[in-house]
Amino acid sequence: MTLKIAVILGSTRPGRNGEAVAKWAQEIAAKRGDAEFELVDIADFKLPHLDEAIPPSMGQYANAHTLAWAEKIASFDGYLFVTPEYNHSTSGALKNAIDFLYGEWNNKAAGFVSYGSVGGTRAVEHLRLIMSELQVATVRAQVALSLFTDFENFSSFKPGDHQTAALDTTLDQLVSWSKALQTVRTGA
């Protein structure tokens, strides 16, 4: 069974740097033969601020946008989150999208590509805590892109060559953990 991994673009901000970063990550990932990688842009789902009356852990979604989001997220074995760092954390839009669901995330793996003035590392630290609560195993390796060295004029994405190696290591770990957690989900 082929592993399916989402490259989740976690910013909806106009003029966002994340789109170029997510496309870069997805293009590199797509050259691998060990999983299928799909770019998932949270902006495409037009999720409002969390509007489900019943807690997500109950899995009783009432809104069409939640059902579409749940179906998409449930279809993957793992996730590569592409996140900006806003005020020492991830974007509110990504946190909101994550909070809509619960069971669809469980027993899967996640890796991170972050960007910001200090590489987005503080955003990833927050995401690791959130993922833990959702029973998502996070891999150790990550890609931390600096607005000073991996972007020209803070907006044109020009990653250093070493970032491709960092992404490859992150993807190696993500594929490995995603595959291992399939056995947890299938009860094998």
Pairing of strands 136-146, 156-157: unpaired
| Domains, the chain | 4-186 (3.40.50.360)
Q: What is the pTM for the complete model shown?
A: 0.97
Task: Kindly report, residue by residue over 20-58, the tens digit of the pLDDT.
Answer: 999 999 999 999 999 999 999 999 999 999 999 999 999
**Among the listed residues 66, 94, 100, the one whose alpha carbon sits nearest the alpha carbon of residue 80:** 94
**With 90 as the cut, is the pLDDT of residue 186 above it?**
no
**With 70 as the cut, is the pLDDT of residue 188 above it?**
no
Report percent pLDDT > 70 for the chain. 99
Burial of 51 from C-beta contacts in 10 A (0-12 / 13-18 / 19+) = exposed
Pick the range with the lowest mean pLDDT from 108-117, 169-178, 179-188: 179-188
Q: Spell out the residues 6+ positions from residue 92 whose beta carbon is closer than 8 angstroms to its own.
A: 86
Q: Spell out the residues 6+ positions from residue 60 whose beta carbon is closer than 8 angstroms to its own.
A: 54
